[in-house]
Structure 1
């Protein structure tokens, strides 16, 4: 609104005055112009209240009062005047209503201010009641809101005054109280679970903490207790602590292996641990209490009851029976006004250990007596308690003197008097320093240079229970060894310098310790570049023109400077740009050093490459030979089969009769063809074995049937050579799982070989026996035998020995036998002596699986 509320009455009054002037009919022109001006101002007020219900009323009033002035104004001015009068009326009413409402609002505001002052006074009163020095309240409004703090706790409680520090309970409360309070507050804010607890501060002050939820807010109040409540809280905490201690001690006593018990004033058992119940053969402590099972006998219990007093507990060893064994226990029993308690400690093992310790000490004494190092042991009175034979030999003292247990001081004086100790400028001071070991905490070590030229390292060690042990280590030989060692180092350096192998030794820091001329010559570096102290990176740079591969010197550097506890060795070969081939070795040395050695293997490597190339050529030639043999064998078998078939056809009567010579030629053709077919089949079998494609078809074979079948198939050959076959096999050999065809081939070739070398009219033997799953076949003949120098080659292919045999073959029979036996996972042996015949034995295990593929040899 553009018109100020305070000016509305004045405007309204001016408008009314203008209307009055018009109604009086003042006709002056000046007056009429003034009236028109005031009416225009009233028109502007009318426009502010346009549309109001009061506007029409005001317009009517103005129209009646301005009737007399109608002659002075036009119709337009009359309308404007009516509107101004209506607006004026509405404005007066609105002003009256606004003034009334403003008065009401001022009255209500005054009442609210009075109520606010009263509420603030009450809040201040409540805050004064709450925020005292004996309590503090923390308020949380919602899960994510910041806490509000009211009040403070006394300074002597140890509680921080700052709000942020106060919430760090672990800093001013005991750990147990702080953890319990954190959990309680978390439960209060999360699940609205109230709590009451008592907490302790680090200053041993007691606080009562109450947690409540009200109006969606969580309140935690800390109260510093007064004397009586604090005392009750302390008693409560002490009671809980004592209960926890009793429970803890019960758990501890229940977990130990020693029987523990407690009795009331009448001597009845009130508590026992598991060890007690186990000792009295009870399933649980409750059973031992219910049944009153006693650990000790009646007499022992009466002795304890008679001897024990509150001031003098019972402590003695008593034997009792536990699990059927007599055991010695160390019994401790105490009595109080509320009853008694006891514990039994098994000392049987301790007694055994004590006796074992005595035996061990005697054994150690015997061991020390056999040591080559002189040892003397003195007791707490500094008297000689033990000495070994080496001590007697070193100092040459009499046994009677040593057995008299001389004092250590007396012993030193005796040795000095016999001129056996090193000369000292101040003998008394030296002796006092030597005998100070009895008061020393650490071992003392000294060197004694004796007049006889010996050097001793004297090690004196004090005993915890008193006394001391003196050990005299003879370093004379060690000094000589060091001298010789130094000489050896010099010789070794000269030797390394004259080696043909390159040698370089590096320290753990990667710096060169030494190198020989051969190393520098192989790598083409100068003595200045490979001088001691050069880092391996500098050596790598110097050797880069000869060999610049990442797995070379860089790898050597990594191995030399690593910090692994176990340093591995490394070997390999390098080929330099110059064509030299070097065998290198990285060898860890003591003191974290590493040695590199390089050997010129150029000639050997070239020879090796030539041999490898030749071997590869031989291997390829062997493959070509096998392929050729296999191919030719298959090509030969087809025409041989045709020849054998046509030969058999010529023998049939249907073709026509043959004369005697033709029949003889046909028989020769048939025999030679069969022999050639056998050779071809043998070659094919060997080629199949070599190719690794031969399969064994396992079947369950009756051994008796196998022997009969083999004997029938060899009958013609036996008859032809006038040989008798004797089969030696016990009854009930059972069966074997093997390839029947290959097994028959093995036996037939062995028998054929035997008939070839057995003399006419003799007997060959086929023996068979069984040992578990293994079946042994042995073929023996009484032929000329095999010389010892030929036994190693009888299984070689194409190794034929026609001497003493009726027929000479291709030399494949025994080779095939060996291959088939090995396919059966068996083995073959041969026993032969010149003039005593030959025995070939095959071991064929009974197979578990029924399918095996021959592996290539």
Structure 2
């Protein structure tokens, strides 16, 4: 029905606005009203469709289905309108209350904004606000005109234009940190007019604010002190950073003398991990006596500056220590002057060495300074002029020295002495060296060189050329004598220059090579001589001669050789490179020498064959002798056992003599066989581990009976010997047996023989000492020769093979034998073996 649905109208009044300001719940309620009516209408239609006529019990009045529908719609619409009216009234009341509250809040905010603007626009502060979205900053307020701050916004934000550089840089960094990280700050900035401003920076949720405010007199004084403190703190930090970066140890101490700060160089010098670690451990760079000396010096003077030595990294170093003591502590640093001290000592040593060198020269040297006073002279100078040492040590002037030499008639008289002296002394004003020749009255000729020094002064060099001139004349005479000598030599000599042309030759050269006389003149090229001489020699060495004379070999190696001429003459030639680039060739007729050499070679070959025949004979005879000797010894032992029958006293004595002589003969044969094997180069050593103590005792047992026979004591010294070494045990035992037998032969009755073994470097040595008469030098020179037996002082004369075998076997092991002997001090034979022989030879050379 028209006019019954207020929701269908466009209501723009307060209630509509209230409905718009209402929540989503209210909007959902408003939209649900038409939905209920539609549902009710649909239900009614369904009922009408089911029953077209509804009889109402109102006086028998019949109402049709369409009327029922209209009544239902009317009732629903009226109910909805009533509910909407009630809701709208309540909403309007609530909105009116809210509007009243909002008006009150707006009024309060306007008053607060006015107060804030009044505060911001004061004449003693200015505020810069940066929005959080990165927009341009806004500036509010003003600063006093005498502060020097500009009023324009763009100029004010350029802090470097009106603030001091230090303050501007600090403010820029603080503002950047405030905007990026939100870190607040409090600074004191100084304008270019000298006015101090308090600057505070804070960060809110959406803005970054920086406030500049002027200060009162007290605040200004406090700010100036604060600014001075900041500058001092910055300077202190910079100084500490600079000192920490220095490559010299620096330190600060408190009133008690304890370290309170050190730099990194100090920590490195005391080998600490860091400066804090050095402080924590109290590491001291200087030793206690040095620190005590510094403390005692501070009692008299606040500044200590002397060189001190200390140990740094295990090396003694010299430091130039400067330490200042104040009322609240001390500070110091140490400059490493080790290299400077070393250079100073080296310079002083160089000067002394230079002076000592000049003093040893035969050339007279005198050095005058810029004031023309004598500062140095050598002995040659004093001897040249024969002047008093006291006069020279007084440092006379150069002019005075010349006057004295003239007065003592040691200089030649000059027609104009003053002009001559002034010309001579002009060397002090010259740049280039000057040279003079003085002919002294005593006949000497002196070459004088005046060498100006860069810093003033002149070094005078007096070279006595009298002997040189004399030698030059003698040299010319010697050249003439040499020429005559060369001409009369039987050896051919030819000298070629670097261009390959003949410089000089003697007649022997022309005669040996049968060269025409016209070709041996000076200037003849070597190629012309080659064309004449090459056909005379087979093979010809003239290609080598030409290469040596005309080649460009940097090494210039000398060479020699032989060539045989067609006539049968054999020439020995030598190519000798001379220092001046020339080449000398010498030729000697060695025909006779070659013939003799050939004869000697043939004789040597015959001797080698004879020696081989001897070795073969010795080996064969030695083996042939060993077998019957073994049989004789065996049968003698059987006879001694009396198994074949008893022996009388004389027979037993004969049997003993036969056995001892056979054993001695077998020993000689074995020695000869061993030496023959060594000489033949076929002896092989069976290298193995040799126990020293058992081996020595075994060798001692072999000679025990012989020692008891002569009441000789054998002492063994094995305490310093190693347990074992590598060698041929049988040969070592044989060596020791021969040494002990030799000692027993020469040791006096009731004496003592000492056999010692000890470690020696990387080997072992055996020493056998006896108290015999010793060996004279002539015997010692032939002691190792075979079949050289000296009966001097010995009980029996042997074959002379014992020490020869010892030397051969020791050298086969790579060792050496040494004998210490002398008249009245006995004989000591020392055999040295390596612990592990390497490259053992099969036989001795």
TM-score range, shorter chain: 0.5 to 0.7
1:311-365 deviation line (CA, Å, top 9, x unaligned): xxxxxx9999999976379xxxxxxxxxxxxx99989976986798689768867
Does residue 586 (structure 1) correspond to residue 596 (structure 2)? The answer is no
What do you get for the CA RMSD once the two structures are aligned?
Answer: 5.4
TM-fit CA distance, 1:375: 4.2
Structure 2 residue aligned with 1:691: 680
Structure 1 residue aligned with 2:521: 531
Contact 1:263 1:269 in 2 (8 A): no
Of 726, 731, 739, the match for 2:713: 726
1:362-395 deviation line (CA, Å, top 9, x unaligned): 8867876776544454554667666667667666
Contact 2:787 2:800 in 1 (8 A): yes
Distance 1:646 1:369 in 2: 90
Distance 1:485 1:491 in 2: 10
Written as runs of structure 1 = structure 2, the 5 A alignment for 1:619-630 is: 619-630=608-619
Written as runs of structure 1 = structure 2, the 5 A alignment for 1:710-789 is: 710-714=699-703, 722-730=709-717, 732=719, 735-737=723-725, 738-752=727-741, 762-763=749-750, 765-772=752-759, 773-778=763-768, 780=770, 789=778
Structure 1 residue aligned with 2:320: 327
Structure 2 residue aligned with 1:608: 597
1:287-308 deviation line (CA, Å, top 9, x unaligned): 99999x9xxxxxxxxxxxxxxx
Does residue 680 (structure 1) correspond to residue 669 (structure 2)? The answer is yes
Contact 1:695 1:852 in 2 (8 A): no
Written as runs of structure 1 = structure 2, the 5 A alignment for 1:107-506 is: 266=235, 268-269=237-238, 272=242, 276=246, 279-280=249-250, 282-283=263-264, 327=320, 373-380=363-370, 434=424, 436-450=426-440, 453-506=443-496
Q: Describe the SS at the equivalent of 1:597.
A: strand
TM-fit CA distance, 1:622: 0.8
Structure 1 residue aligned with 2:537: 547
Contact 2:717 2:757 in 1 (8 A): no
TM-fit CA distance, 1:518: 1.8
Structure 2 residue aligned with 1:841: 829
TM-fit CA distance, 1:617: 1.3
The 3 A distance-change label for structure 1 pair 489 and 643 is same
Contact 1:269 1:289 in 2 (8 A): no
Q: Describe the SS at the equivalent of 2:566.
A: coil
Distance 1:730 1:401 in 2: 74
Distance 1:272 1:678 in 2: 92
Contact 1:440 1:462 in 2 (8 A): yes
Distance 1:453 1:603 in 2: 56
Contact 2:359 2:378 in 1 (8 A): yes
TM-fit CA distance, 1:614: 0.9
Structure 1 residue aligned with 2:135: none
Q: Describe the SS at the equivalent of 2:524.
A: coil
Of 567, 573, 580, the match for 2:556: 567
Q: Describe the SS at the equivalent of 2:804.
A: helix
Distance 2:630 2:390 in 1: 108
The 3 A distance-change label for structure 1 pair 485 and 730 is closer
TM-fit CA distance, 1:599: 2.6
Structure 1 residue aligned with 2:499: 509
Contact 1:374 1:471 in 2 (8 A): yes
Of 577, 582, 602, the match for 2:566: 577
TM-fit CA distance, 1:620: 1.8
Structure 2 residue aligned with 1:87: none
Distance 1:537 1:734 in 2: 74
Count of aligned pairs = 554
Q: Runs of 5+ in structure 1 lacking a partner?
A: 1-261, 294-316, 330-342
1:770-813 deviation line (CA, Å, top 9, x unaligned): 3325343426486x987765554443333456798776654433
Contact 1:510 1:561 in 2 (8 A): yes
Distance 2:347 2:825 in 1: 71
Distance 2:350 2:744 in 1: 76
TM-fit CA distance, 1:422: 6.3
1:616-660 deviation line (CA, Å, top 9, x unaligned): 211122112212322333344345545655666677888x65886
The 3 A distance-change label for structure 1 pair 776 and 565 is same
Distance 1:396 1:757 in 2: 71
The 3 A distance-change label for structure 1 pair 729 and 350 is closer
The 3 A distance-change label for structure 1 pair 547 and 442 is farther
Distance 2:754 2:394 in 1: 85
The 3 A distance-change label for structure 1 pair 617 and 263 is farther
Contact 2:747 2:770 in 1 (8 A): no
Distance 2:232 2:538 in 1: 89
Contact 2:722 2:758 in 1 (8 A): no
Distance 2:507 2:394 in 1: 67
Q: Describe the SS at the equivalent of 1:487.
A: helix
The two structures have a TM-score, normalised by structure 1, of 0.53
Structure 1 residue aligned with 2:122: none
Moved more, 722-731 or 661-670: 661-670
TM-fit CA distance, 1:745: 2.3
Contact 2:779 2:790 in 1 (8 A): no
Contact 2:758 2:764 in 1 (8 A): yes
